[in-house]
């Protein structure tokens, strides 16, 4: 895997590009990658040595996080901390389930050499990851850690309702944000969700 020199934000996707669940993530990440400093690619199961890339500030990983271990896996797509070596200036943002647990974060840091790791401590939702990328598109990449923390908060807040999300996904051509409003009060996380009211088409037909 070849990463262009000068890349400051690397987005690694650990999912099949044809998986409907990740359609919104794929579309928004591709748009974000039009920026000169951003590179979006799919993980190819080959080790990635980036420890000399001092300019690389963030590596963002999306996909199915393992529930008990540090890593992402989907069928034959597997990414473990041993597979990436990073410069000590580089921060990891792990947009998958359970990768923010203390034990798992420590393994990512120890094995990749990353400066720090941000991730959700429990299950996460692809629709909320799509909203994460939409917020970056609608604001600035310099706000990436702020939006990551809001993504973590949104997952924590909405996790008890994730089972209802799956029912929403199955409804064709629906406004995801309006439907989620029928499940719970969204005020505590409305700053994160607001962008979805304008760009709701990225949140449709995810199942």
d(CA 67, CA 99): 8
Q: Please check whether residue 109 lies inside any domain of the structure.
A: yes
Mean model confidence pLDDT for the chain: 92
Q: Please check whether residue 32 lies inside any domain of the structure.
A: yes
| Residue-number span of the structural domain to which 199 is assigned | 9-203
Q: Please check whether residue 1 lies inside any domain of the structure.
A: no
Other Cβ atoms less than 10 A from the Cβ of 42: the count is: 15
Name residue, tokens 């990851």: 129
Q: Please check whether residue 36 lies inside any domain of the structure.
A: yes
Q: Please check whether residue 2 lies inside any domain of the structure.
A: no
pLDDT digits over 52-94, tens only? 999 999 999 999 999 999 999 988 899 999 999 999 999 999 9
Q: Structurally, how many domains does the chain consist of?
A: 1
Q: Please check whether residue 3 lies inside any domain of the structure.
A: no
pLDDT at 173: 67
Q: Please check whether residue 4 lies inside any domain of the structure.
A: no
pTM of the model: 0.95
């Amino acid at each position: 895997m070849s990463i262009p020199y000068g890349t400051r934000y690397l987005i690694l996707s650990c999912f099949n590009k044809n998986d409907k669940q990740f359609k919104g993530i794929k579309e928004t990440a591709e748009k974000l990658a039009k920026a000169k400093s951003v590179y979006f690619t799919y993980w190819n199961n080959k080790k990635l040595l980036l420890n000399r890339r001092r300019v690389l500030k963030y590596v963002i990983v999306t996909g199915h996080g393992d529930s008990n271990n540090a890593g992402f896996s989907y069928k034959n797509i597997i990414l473990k901390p041993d597979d990436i070596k990073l410069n000590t200036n580089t921060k990891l943002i792990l947009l998958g389930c359970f990768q923010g647990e203390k034990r798992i974060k420590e393994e990512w840091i120890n094995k990749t050499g990353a400066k720090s790791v941000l991730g959700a401590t429990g299950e996460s939702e692809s629709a909320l990851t799509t909203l994460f990328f939409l917020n970056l598109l609608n604001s600035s990449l310099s706000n990436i850690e702020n939006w990551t923390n809001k993504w973590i908060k949104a997952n924590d807040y909405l996790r008890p309702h994730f089972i209802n999300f799956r029912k929403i996904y199955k409804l064709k051509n629906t406004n995801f944000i309006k439907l989620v409003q029928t499940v719970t009060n969204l005020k505590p996380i409305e700053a994160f969700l607001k962008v979805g009211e304008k760009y709701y088409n990225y949140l449709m037909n995810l199942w």
